[in-house]
Structure 1
């Protein structure tokens, strides 16, 4: 994981704006409709939404395949069915239906036929054939219960023939639907302008009559019905809510109803149609089929209702299919209006802002995580959003689904490309530059911190680590070159692994010496503690190598380590053509002197007071002395780390206490007491033994009055 810099944040915002603008633009407007389709399918799968058809305020009378195959309609042209249609409609009206709407259009009458039949046209011989049908239309219309349908079109309008229009006193409404660019019906028009006035469409008119209310149409296209503000994100349309996938719409076969009229079962019509909105339409396998938002989930041509007179035809079980009969589109619209259940969609501004926000989150994730992690974040966020969107859709609110998902996926891809081309150049340079010098976990920490080494150098607070093998030159003289190289490789590898494992950076090897620093290039607030831990571990590991490694057998190697903390210049330093990542400052020089100072005290690790202070209470220490190293006039208090706090041995605690007593007496010019304290542990502590000798000398030859307890070291 990496941190986002200011440039990355700007890039993420710009990428999110671009992706959001593209995926909510007009050319990709079909994505909005696809969201409705997916939400309809998911809601149907997750929630189920099975509603009792008996509760539906809308029923369908279907001129279906059974009707075409049942006498007296079998083999007869539909123009000859009008008298039977009139009888059935009369019984439906008498049964208590609130209003009947026609989703079929009889554009002509058999009475208009000019086909010769004998010595006169067929129409003349059939004069009066539609009388009973027209009378039925007039009676039902006069009761306010009938609306005929028409198709408005500038090129090919479809309207009922004139006698029907006169019979219903022009109670005719448009059956036109709103078809999206992908030929899918997701919305229903609310009105059309006829002679300069807004006239409600069929579904709106039927719902208004069922509610005994008046439609309120505003010039903007907004509409209200019985106190219900019809949601119209697309002006003058209702977004259809196919909540029950049309399975909850009772459907009656016209053939069975005609037989029921013959049977005279008025109670059946009352039970089936009382208080209902009735839609008469064709329900056939290959005629007037519509793709709707149910196309992914599978819609149904209603649910077959109880029969009155004829037995149910074989194979009438309803199966889900991508298209539905057009009459069920109008049935859904009427039910949405009556039940105030139309879908509310977000407007373009809200949809765009939400898409941009979604894309921005994923773009930022792609800037922080690796590509695989960013993809997981996209999948997780998308899954959560899908759950939220489905929950909202259960409550008839359609949140954008495909636009945020696709825009964020595009933002993910673009941000990954941006990182590869621009943002991660420094990271790749860093990984390549330090691959042979730092442990992988240290490089990862450096990358995650976002603090890259500055070209030309920068000031850092670091802890320097200097180590050198004691008397190695004389040992090397006794070894063959192969043995020497093998020994050094094993030693340097072991020490380097420890240093890098504690977050350190090996600056260079100088023969058997190691120069390392903690706190750069990886930013490490605990660099002093990590340096001390590394020094203690190196000391213990060398003892293990001396004891168990064949290459070290018989040599008894020992080393000295100097530690110092402070400000230093770190960076790429060198000539114009060749440079190294290294460190320069007085902090470095002091650490080097402390490494050499170990030989004056017989110690293995010596640290400055600044290093000791920066470790807090992490370690048990003993103060060795105050020294003045070569090339530096200021005295330095030096300390030896014994172990982690609480991990020091009893012997170490005993020596540290005696040494502290002796040092206090020494500084108080009580040299005899100091000598006694140091001699008490001199046999097990080289530093105490050497201080005891110095104390004995000053006991015999006291120093002048201006003497200060500072040891000036002559060598390095």
Structure 2
């Protein structure tokens, strides 16, 4: 027996290892997506980047920062373009910058000079003297033209942005000429990022720029910017990123080409070629940003200091200058692996420097195959070896494998190749944990844990049945169709005030014991006691196709049992108890829930809340048991009296509520039939007919609260007609009844 037991559980461990391996292999090949694995891979990428960033400050690129100090000295943004023209003149004439790129878009004309107002005045009231004055002033007041003149013949690169929201139709400004026509690259298997619109610069400025590039980031699902789409397609044209446009100008406006793995297009694109420089890209032409370090990896100078000539000339001479902002109010701050709040302009600086220095990391197409083979090797090897090993040697083996994986991955990173890491680490750890914990958590303790967990909720005779049906059980939250019961003692506060503490405790213990016994007899699970209230449910932990019927039967038996309890209580001189019960069926979340300090097997959900609301309505209708329409539909073997169509607090949709009817006699059948006719007349607003029907019911079968309720409503509606859209719904404004 021991040998067969060992072999059985050995194969179970093998099966678990194989399943984990297959799951991760399916994720790698794209059969389905495991979001948490992607999140772990992003975390591993960020950790390697932060650990191995080169640091220091790049000497070739300087950021002219429109910072808070500049805004305080020169005025709020946007500045007049005459000031930007002077800034360009300073950079090229005084500081002799190599190239200037704007991380800014000039999408609208600058009318801050007042020239447009003067021209409008002249047009409205023509005056020769005013016209002559405007002609003289126009060159100095046309700020857009001043900036365009300053750009003319200089290495200036402008920025713009693309939109990917098809709901926004209007484009702004003009795009530069595309660097490639998409048709020229058709059939090359490149998954371009397509744009639906753009916001670009006004024509007069775009015409004078040497180049322009988009500054759209491509953040991952977690909102962190790790890559930039170097090429984007819009209406048949291929447009370059700002960083790529700057790099091409620095390299001499070199031609742009695509490079494919092994020289074959079918193998997939792997790089963009700029002359002798290759930029590694993925299938979507995204390039990983080679972050040099945290903010400040490139020299920053204040734009105000440049305007006033306060920056040492050698700091900007022959440098690539990026004009951008770090001012929080201008909203160009992004989340990056290097730093959670990072200036967008420095992202472009990192990309430009990486292209020129050849530091852009690559993720070759072969990494997918390498990851697949590595997972297959590790999965098969560890699945076979670990079940045969003792815990200590197995732990040493797993730690050694993890260290080797991490070391090899870091070495690959250092030579510029980014290999996946998270899936391999996860596979090793999961297979190890499954093997080490299987015996403790699954084999030796399963039945004892089952008894400890559910013994307080279900009758002891069901524990053995549950142990034989463990495949049906789940401690973690799951959604099931179930029935919930809420029971409460009416007027418990005043009752408790009339008894001393020992007597009250004894009374409640006997009452709760009797009610719990009835619930257990009908296969119910006690959720909790809340003072004098009981919460129970059917359908878990064991599945129960008759959960609604069992719950209704239990509720009716609880009412009958209460009669016996009250007879005994009266003999002792104790007060008589009255209870109200609410039942509802529907989808609920059931499982072991709570905190690290205390857990409980319980149910949650909207259907549970409705059950609690129905219990609160039982006093209003003087019905000991109220069931929702969902419970009534699921337990048609019982007869029901439809009480009302109500909208309880916290619910938008109305629900029909019913009172289950005990017994089976012809008189009750006749009463229910007459009641249904009276209720139909009420809902059709036939007030006179409905009143007669309910009064006849009272005369024949005695006064019931439900008849009195409808007669009171009919009297009101006869004098105050309901609105035209009245649907017969009665609204309850509080949790426990009418407000």
Task: Give the structure-2-normalised TM-score.
Answer: 0.45
Larger radius of gyration: 1
